[in-house]
Structure 1
Amino acid sequence: FCTPCLQECLKPKKPVCGVCRSTLSPGSRALDLEKQIETTETTCNGCNKKMYLSKMRSHAASCSKYQNYIMEGVKAVTKEPLHNSRSFPNRFTFPCPYCSEKNFDQEGLVEHCKALHSMDAKQVVCPICASMPWGDPNYRSANFMEHLQRRHRFSYDTFVVGDPFVDYDADEDDMMAQVLMRSLRDK
């Protein structure tokens, strides 16, 4: 993770996991996970030495073979990129359309706008909608706060539990219908 994204996940008000975005419980240590890290063996990809996961970070910092292994991977990736990352829109973090503060997840953007921009009448483009295939990146919402509360109470991709992906090629009404059907089925 880059520093701004990681900092957004660890905001004191609402720390969330950097991978799944679920809320972290402040002050409670994952003792079962610590024990698993202390007792799980792994092998260094550089020198093939066996060690516990808890020792891997310090070993990797001093193992020249591991550092060479990492550099070879970096060279391979930078030499032949598999795809142009610019062709895939970012649908996970969004800038505030009022003040351009960056790296909000969908829920964070809604909270930010409610807290700081609820009285701002300026017409703005919804960054969430603009990232969707059906979204118009030039459409300015007449009442952005109402739009946020009506359209973005949940995220399509995190609401649909169990699906490894969401079909972003479907239009917005189809997506909404899929989510509603699954919510009724899961009750």
Structure 2
Amino acid sequence: MAEELSAATSYTEDDFYCPVCQEVLKTPVRTAACQHVFCRKCFLTAMRESGIHCPLCRGNVTRRERACPERALDLENIMRKFSGSCRCCAKQIKFYRMRHHYKSCKKYQDEYGVSSIIPNFQISQDSVGNSNRSETSTSDNTETYQENTSSSGHPTFKCPLCQESNFTRQRLLDHCNSNHLFQIVPVVSTYV
């Protein structure tokens, strides 16, 4: 127990957040070579997308790790003992219960959306149904990203497709995924 507490004191609150989804770790897994920790789902998704590299430092990840990552049980145990502040209401919550708290925290929901889940990144499809990740199109009716600030001081956004406004980041993502998922629109990528 004393060893565990002394090991726990070397952790900071940031160590309990996944570098991929930016949320409190859910089922943490650790890479063997570089010792980086991720949510299991984030890590497996990154492995499907990028192949053989750590999503954080691009270090090598073994084939066995990619298929069955090792759980960071030491970190899970520490998350059960230590508390952190909610990002929005500053209430002290045990880290392993933080995601559950986010589901009922009104301030968190106003800022980030209704629930604390890993975002669903959608891949657009062309008119034939082929997936496009970074295709570019040069069209004259391209919408620009627009950010405003609400009276509460939080940034709000306008949907570039239907012009509905006053969305938080998460609510804009949810809105586009539920209302415009299959809508085909020209896209210009700034990453050429």
TM-score, length of structure 1 as denominator length: 0.31
TM-score, length of structure 2 as denominator length: 0.31
Q: Which one has the largest radius of gyration?
A: 1
**Greater per-residue strand proportion:** 2
Task: Select the structure with the greater relative contact order (CA < 8 A; seq sep ≥ 6).
Answer: 2
**Greater per-residue helix proportion:** 1
